[in-house]
A and B are shown apart, each in its own frame.
Chain A
Amino acid sequence: KAGVTQTPRYLIKTRGQQVTLSCSPISGHRSVSWYQQTPGQGLQFLFEYFSETQRNKGNFPGRFSGRQFSNSRSEMNVSTLELGDSALYLCASSLALDGATNEKLFFGSGTQLSVL
């Protein structure tokens, strides 16, 4: 079974530009979550999508957005990039069965975004 796939692996942008990152979850997984990882703040939750709807959102500005398609694939968009947006962006998928006591997140390798 293929793992979580994130593209691109590396990305370089300049301030003010926008960027779209892509995530393909494991087949059959219904939830896709996004995390930002920086050396200073560690791993921080951005948002979670389930059945094409954003179900939960972390404490990030509105410049960070996302969507999920009917095949569970997800995209994340950051508009008006700032230097501080430089980070590793990680996508994770899970089965997302309500009441599950063995819910596990499966992470992709991430997209390393550098904003110059």
Chain B
Amino acid sequence: DAKTTQPTSMDCAEGRAANLPCNHSTISGNEYVYWYRQIHSQGPQYIIHGLKNNETNEMASLIITEDRKSSTLILPHATLRDTAVYYCIVRVPYQTGANNLFFGTGTRLTVIP
């Protein structure tokens, strides 16, 4: 699976949109972009994923550039509970035994009151 590059940390004011970027310039055609987040001392939590179209769910929106070399996770109205480490991961469709995800260092998002 391709590797990703994310900023180490970001701040966001409470109530504003948080835009978290991710570069995945070596992504392959069949690799999906996934986002997870980890709140302190808990296990990572799935947020959203996509292939090439923009995606939205109840938690966030995912914008993937047309060349698929980068993406942005958008939390539309950040709250204090969104303070966490956000991981951008790329992976191929599941094949037996292939849940060896590379999490990298992620982006530490701090939502400021």
Residues of A within 8 A of B (CB): 4, 31, 33, 42-43, 45, 48, 50, 55-56, 58, 88, 90, 92, 94, 96-110, 112
Let me know if B15 is at the binding interface, CB within 8 A: no
Listed A/B pairs (28) with beta-carbon separation below 8 Å = A4-B43, A42-B104, A42-B105, A42-B106, A43-B87, A45-B100, A48-B99, A48-B100, A55-B96, A56-B98, A56-B100, A92-B43, A92-B99, A94-B94, A97-B94, A100-B93, A100-B94, A101-B32, A101-B51, A101-B94, A103-B91, A104-B46, A105-B44, A106-B46, A107-B43, A107-B45, A108-B43, A109-B43
Partner of A56, one of B99, B103, B104: B99
A92: chain B residues at CB < 8 Å are 43-44, 99
In chain B, residues 73-113, which have Cβ atoms closer than 8 Å to a Cβ of chain A?
A: 87, 91, 93-106
B68 at the interface (CB under 8 A from A): no
Contact A55 B45 (CB under 8 A): no
With a CB–CB cut-off of 8 A, which chain A residues contact B49?
A: 102, 104
Distance between Cα atoms of A82 and B13 in the complex (Å): 42
A96: contacting residue among B51, B99, B102, B105, CB under 8 A: B99
Residues on the B chain within 8 Å of A109, using CB: 41-43
Q: Are A110 and B94 in contact, CB atoms less than 8 angstroms apart?
A: no
Which applies to chain B's interface (DSSP): helix, strand, loop or mixed? Answer: loop
Distance between Cα atoms of A58 and B91 in the complex (Å): 16
Interchain nearest-CB distance for A101 vs B (Å)? 5
The minimal Cβ–Cβ distance linking A32 to chain B, given in whole angstroms, is: 9
What residues of A have a CB within 8 angstroms of the CB of B36 in the complex?
105
In the complex formed, the residue of A with least CB distance to B51 is: A101
Query: B99 and A31: CB pair below 8 A?
Result: yes
Known: A4-B43, A105-B46. A56 touches B97 (CB 8 A): yes
Q: State whether A105 touches B99 (Cβ < 8 A).
A: yes
Question: Is B103 a contact partner of A94 (Cβ separation < 8 A)?
Answer: no
